[in-house]
Chain A
């Protein structure tokens, strides 16, 4: 494990930034640095999944990754070697302004290589549809903490069907209180109460779509 990966996985903010600055200064390949940062974040994600780490570590490591990226990204402009697993549209549905669950899931997905198009909170069905059409993203993730959000999720799925793109968009819903009956009611393809599990499900969506 490199010094940088070790510093990321053990949530040592100052050390990560010092290493990244130094390596960029001596002309190290930014794509290699990015790969190391991602490798570190993948380990953080694994530790979260196994119960060794908690949400706090995810939030803090996400902040460290973001700061490292702000140093690395300017050196990456136009580099075609950067790849993402896939795109997805995300948001907290209309009538619900809670963002924590959505932000956690989005952070985990980004760490795993997804490009997340985050529409924020209180997102109307039409806004989701518009972004799915514009981006061509194959996955929609909808979040909600309060029970009235289920109706908004259903309305969004209905709007996607009406637009004629349901067959190319996989829908996953998330939130602390969603259960199978809610997934069925909403008409989603999957549900999760766990961000790490959500990443696995989204990767599976992409894997099946690539077949």
Chain B
């Protein structure tokens, strides 16, 4: 142990770089201390520095500066999973239109709001058949207007600008001595159809036309795998976020999970791991009953939970097999006290961190209105609290 933290706790002596520490956790090895990676601190940092929702999106230089300043004021942590708010897109229209549609503060929402996804019925039941016949790329080339009314050339230009900004953001952090991890992001087929059919309509589809849904999923999954590989190549980062929420046990029984979610998760993660990519499974909502399946993921994935899944049960089931990440609840960050955050994080480190394979993080993203002292309490806990032996 070395050094005294300003609150009086001893700082753990670090013998690894942030990158090495995080990699050790992914490899389910024991690092010098538990790595801490609060997810997407951008919105929180900007609000903390007095920027409203519109400024966060539109005044990029100020927002980036705020992000860096708050990172330093928090005492630093083990890197940025996501460097900013831009996206990465492969240079083809099918990759770009698959991104969610957002309501923008100051444009579609009150100025001081946050970006929110506008879930609408963009795809129709007959599109399952078209996708099954054409494959995703050809379908998207032909029907991109369903998603976006602008001409294809404009959509492609927008995608290129987004990607360039994303790469710039990585550079800014690297110059600041901070690693950035995520290079790509895709939905699982189930998540994709649920978002673009809406949860309700997609659920009806699972009961009324399951074979057609499955055929469409079979047809598009390979394109999603390749999109992610392309995004990693464009950014030089090795993590791909696989966005999952709608396929877990909060939503559906295991028989639906097995047929419409698990087999694709397995296919995607196996393909990526073979390419040296780290799949970050962004598992929002409750996946507790699905945990045994994740034992069969390829080694080298990260299972990231948002506080709805039982982390302690996850540890029992996945110990020694998969890296677990999470899960300080958003409301604890906004309405808890630093002592409560510290207590929960210490419990996570003691139980989930034991034997390695754990990354301490926020449950989903750090909320825009998190208390600074609570985010700091999470980070400081990782720097001062060794797992109980």
Minimal beta-carbon separation of A140 from chain B (angstroms): 20
Interface segment among A27-35, A73-81, A164-172, A175-183: the answer is A175-183
Please, how many angstroms separate the alpha-carbon atoms of A106 and B113 in the complex? 25
Please, how many angstroms separate the alpha-carbon atoms of A100 and B200 in the complex? 9
Interface segment among B81-89, B121-129, B165-173, B331-339: the answer is B331-339
**A residues in contact with B335, CB < 8 Å:** 150, 179, 181-182, 185
Indicate whether A24 reaches chain B with its CB closer than 8 angstroms. no
**B residues in contact with A99, CB < 8 Å:** 119
Secondary structure at the B interface, as helix, strand, loop or mixed, is loop
Indicate whether A109 reaches chain B with its CB closer than 8 angstroms. no
Please, how many angstroms separate the alpha-carbon atoms of A176 and B285 in the complex? 8
A147-B368 CB under 8 A given contacts A63-B204, A182-B335 = yes
* Docked-complex contact B109 and A150, CB < 8 angstroms: no
A147-B332 CB under 8 A given contacts A54-B252, A55-B251, A95-B109 = no
**A residues in contact with B331, CB < 8 Å:** 147, 150, 177-179, 181-182
* Docked-complex contact B251 and A147, CB < 8 angstroms: no
Please, how many angstroms separate the alpha-carbon atoms of A177 and B327 in the complex? 12
**A residues in contact with B249, CB < 8 Å:** 54
A146-B116 CB under 8 A given contacts A95-B110, A97-B103 = yes
A55-B250 CB under 8 A given contacts A98-B116, A179-B335 = yes
In the complex, number of A-B residue pairs with CB atoms less than 8 Å apart = 83
Indicate whether B308 reaches chain A with its CB closer than 8 angstroms. yes
> In the complex, what residue of chain A is closest to B253 when comparing beta carbons?
A54
> In the complex, what residue of chain A is closest to B367 when comparing beta carbons?
A147
* Docked-complex contact A176 and B308, CB < 8 angstroms: yes
Please, how many angstroms separate the alpha-carbon atoms of A178 and B335 in the complex? 10
Residue in B200, B256, B285, B370 whose Cβ sees the most chain A Cβ within 10 Å: B200
Please, how many angstroms separate the alpha-carbon atoms of A176 and B332 in the complex? 12
A132-171: CB near B (< 8 Å → 1, else 0) gives 0000000000000011101100000000000000000000
For chain B, the count of residues having a C-beta within 8 Å of the partner chain is: 37
Indicate whether B329 reaches chain A with its CB closer than 8 angstroms. yes
Please, how many angstroms separate the alpha-carbon atoms of A98 and B284 in the complex? 15
Minimal beta-carbon separation of B191 from chain A (angstroms): 13
Please, how many angstroms separate the alpha-carbon atoms of A134 and B199 in the complex? 32
* Docked-complex contact A54 and B250, CB < 8 angstroms: yes
A67-111: CB near B (< 8 Å → 1, else 0) gives 000000000000000000000000000011111100100000000
Contact count band on A: 20 to 34
* Docked-complex contact A179 and B332, CB < 8 angstroms: yes
* Docked-complex contact A148 and B206, CB < 8 angstroms: no
Minimal beta-carbon separation of B289 from chain A (angstroms): 8
Residue in B103, B204, B335, B368 whose Cβ sees the most chain A Cβ within 10 Å: B335
> In the complex, what residue of chain B is closest to A94 when comparing beta carbons?
B110
Indicate whether A59 reaches chain B with its CB closer than 8 angstroms. yes
B18-36: CB near A (< 8 Å → 1, else 0) gives 0000000000000000000
* Docked-complex contact A148 and B118, CB < 8 angstroms: no
Indicate whether A118 reaches chain B with its CB closer than 8 angstroms. no
Top 9 closest pairs, chain A to chain B, by CB: A147-B367, A181-B335, A56-B252, A59-B203, A177-B331, A147-B334, A177-B330, A55-B251, A179-B331
- Given A56-B256, A97-B118, A148-B114, 9 more A-B residue pairs with CB atoms under 8 Å apart are A53-B253, A54-B249, A54-B250, A99-B119, A147-B333, A151-B369, A176-B308, A177-B329, A182-B331
